[in-house]
Amino acid sequence: MNTLARQLRATDYFTLGWGTMVGVGWLVIMDDWLLRGGALGALLGFVIGGALLLPIGWVYGKLVVAMPDAAGEIAYTSAAFPRSISFATGWMMTLAYFIVCPWEAVAVGRIAGYILPGLDSVELYRIAGRPVYLPHLIIGLALTALLTLLNYRGIRLSATFQNWTSFGTLALFVIFVALGVSRGSPRNFPPLFTHTPLISILLVIQIVPYFMTGFESVGKAAEEASPDFRAQRFFRAIWMAIVIGILFYASIVAAVAFVAPWRQLTGEKFMTAVAFQQAVRSRWIVNIILAAALLSLFKCFNGNFVAASRLFFALGRRGMVDRRVGTIHAQHQTPSTAVLCVGLATAACMLLGDAILVPITEVGSVACAIGWSATCAACLALARTRPGMMNLSRVERAVAAFGLVVGIAMALMKVIPLVPGHFTAYEWIALGVWIALGAISHRRRTANAQM
């Protein structure tokens, strides 16, 4: 069969969108968030940054209902713009999803090393001054292999895994936050801002695109909806993912700042866990937090794996990269070649170790902001040139235009040197390498098509 299996339900789309969005940043780099903005600055940064994404989520909801295509942004932009723009958008969004996969593969080794300190041994080499341990690599590679196998074998297996890990994360989150906050104090909040209020909030808003990327992954699995699925539920799943995501990030930032004097803990390996341990004065709450973190890591890794493999598959199916990537497994009805490519690339990138964590955050933010901007622009263009497909009122066009402005602003915040928190050399190198790979691949496919 040459079509993807149609087996996903409404719950599956919510856990895909929300689960792809929320990973383990709240445990692994909470200190970076709070040092950027302070307690109130980080909280407001996520609330404001998340709220700014609601118009973009609305645009995605409209487009996925009109075009339920695994190509996502590629399909939306190809209906309005030249093929080169469509490819560039799809290539950048593929990066936004794919780049999370090695991030999570590296993070699972760090968490495992915190649980069992003996795993922080057998140092193989160092990158940017950070050691890469053999046990960490083995654990990350094992998880990568497991998720590759799940997604190779079928979307139903992947969706079931996503559901259990998503709802398990939410349940454990409610438990440890409720227990920790009961021992906290408002006296722990200061400093509310680490810079001026505006700069503090801005520095956090800059990374929100990376940590809120995922709601639009709903569209990447649109072709795999069950036959009785109603298209309007795509829209609902996207909005629920954004709203629950905002509440989650705001709650965890507020909780960490409330339970312990966070400024004194910024040098700790896992600041979130240490803060709650100090509040409760017991190690058992750390075990709950780490269990929630592992479940969250699994679902985020899996969700981004699904989205990245579908976009890569769509690029191949449309002849924008090697067409073999666009093949569907005859038995499992999965984009098997694309799945294997994402799995192998994840394994290769995670060899860079902990040094990739923060730079990946920055590059991922720009990549998804570019994709969001192109999608909003496509929505507006279609409303003007193809009203039969995208019929928007004046208010709706204003919403899409606001989404476009937000997307562009989020991208510019990272690339303009005058803005605090802009790209460093490492981020420019990573983004440049990806753009070069895309240009080479697209030029090769174009040359072959003309022969």
Mean pLDDT (whole number) for 6-15 = 94
268 and 44 Cβ atoms separated by less than 8 Å: no
CATH of the domain at 408: 1.20.1740.10
> What is the residue type of 66?
A
What tens digit of pLDDT does each residue of 64-74 get?
Answer: 999 999 999 99
DSSP-derived 3-state class of residue 8: strand
Q: Bridge-partner residues for 126, per DSSP? A: 131
Residue 222 has which token pair? 């649109």
Q: Which tokens is 158 given?
A: 């992947």
DSSP characters over 109-152: HHHHHHHSGGGS--EEEEETTEEEEHHHHHHHHHHHHHHHHHHH
How far is residue 31 CA from its own chain's centroid? 19
Give me the helix-helix angle, 155-181 and 134-153, nearest 10°: 130
Give the integer Cα–Cα distance in Å for 357 and 106: 8
Question: Quick check: 360 pLDDT over 70?
Answer: no
Q: How far apart are alpha carbons 396 and 402 in whole angstroms?
A: 10
180, 279 contact by CB (below 8 A): yes
Most confident option among 121-125, 191-195, 351-355 = 191-195
Are 359 and 130 in contact by the 8 Å Cβ rule? The answer is no
Domain contains 148? yes
Q: What would the pLDDT profile of 78-91 be if each residue is shown by its tens digit?
A: 999 999 899 999 99
Closest CA to 345 of 168, 177, 88, 105: 105
Residue 263, classed as helix, strand or coil, is helix
Nearest to 150, CA basis, from 424, 282, 334, 347: 334
| Structural domain of 44 | 10-446
Is the sign of the CA dihedral 19, 24, 35, 428 positive or negative?
A: negative
Express each pLDDT in 196-229 by its tens digit. Answer: 999 999 999 888 887 888 899 999 999 999 999 9
The phi-psi region of residue 353 (left if phi > 0; otherwise alpha if psi is between -120 and 50; otherwise beta) is left
DSSP H helices in 386-424: 394-415
Mean pLDDT of 236-265: 93
Prior bond of 191 cis (ω within 30°)? yes
- Say what the pLDDT of residue 212 is: 86
Amino acid letter, 159: A
Give Dmax (Cα) for the chain.
70
Inside any domain, residue 400:
yes
8 A C-beta contact, residue 66 and residue 396 = no
Alpha-helical (H) ranges within 206-231 are 208-212
Q: Give the total residue count for the chain.
A: 451
> Looking at the domain assignment, is residue 4 inside a domain?
no
Residue 3 counted as domain residue: no
In a domain, 1, yes or no: no
Say yes or no to pLDDT of 447 above 80: no
Residue 372 to residue 210: CA distance in whole angstroms: 12
* Closest by Cα among 292, 390, 411, 312 to 99: 312
Beta-bridged to residue 225, according to DSSP, are 8
Helix (H, G, I), strand (E, B) or coil at 415: helix
Cα 236 to chain centroid distance, Å, stands at: 19
pLDDT at 359: 66
The CA distances from residue 403 to 146, 312, 443, 445, in Å, are 37, 25, 31, 32
- Return d(Cα 34, Cα 41) in angstroms, integer: 8
pLDDT above 60 (res 121) = yes
Tell me whether residue 351 is in a domain. yes
Q: Is residue 260 part of a domain?
A: yes
The reply to whether 121 falls in a domain is: yes
> Containing H/E element for 130?
strand 130-133
Instruction: Tally the domains of the chain.
Output: 1
Strand partners, 132: 125
**pTM assigned to the model:** 0.90
pLDDT single digits (tens) 33-72: 999 999 999 999 999 999 999 999 999 999 999 999 999 9
| N- to C-terminal Cα separation, the chain | 30
Exposed (0-12), middle (13-18) or buried (19+): which is 232, by Cβ within 10 Å?
A: exposed
